Structure 1
Amino acid sequence: MHTLPLSEFRANASAMLDLVERGERVRILRHGRPVADLVPVGEASEPVARVPRWKQPIEPLYLVHPDGRTGAQLIIDERERGA
């Protein structure tokens, strides 16, 4: 695996992508800490495994005020009062 700082990657991005196309891996560092791994297509399995979780529907949030008004009704009431 090739490891290089972000500044060097920026200066040599095309050459680094050529390495990845040939099957090599490239790790990019920012301030000495790893921030990204470039791997050939098909090798990266973890992010792909997480994609379906992103597609799950998000449950709606409902705000109910102690007096029973919903969040939407609170906003409408404030607008009508000119607040």
Structure 2
Amino acid sequence: MRTISFTEFRNNASLLLSAVEKGEMVIVMRHGKPIAKIVPADKVEEGEKPLKKPALRLVIKGRNLSSAILEEREK
């Protein structure tokens, strides 16, 4: 586990995220207080909700969505 300042994170984000990809955990501190814990995606703790929700998929049988939209606009 590595502890770094916010400024160090901001200046070296790409390198730090590469280290996280390899399995390292990084704690980001601001004014001596922890503000973030960055862990590899496969190590997200049980029970945490993902930040992104699955996108809504619109499907119309027999034709693609863009043709259906264009047809609807012509009406």
TM-score, structure 1 as length reference: 0.55
Query: Relative CO higher for 1 or 2, CA cutoff 8 Å, sep ≥ 6?
Result: 2
CA change 1:31–1:11 in 2 (3 A) is same
RMSD value, Cα? 1.2
Question: What's 1:23 paired with?
Answer: 23
Q: Structure 1: which 4+ aligned runs deviate by more than 2 Å?
A: none
Aligned residues: percent identity? 45
Residues matched between the structures, number: 49
- Asked whether 1:45 is paired with 2:45, we answer yes
CA positional deviation for 1:42:
1.8
Unaligned runs of 5+ in 1: 52-83
CA positional deviation for 1:50:
4.6
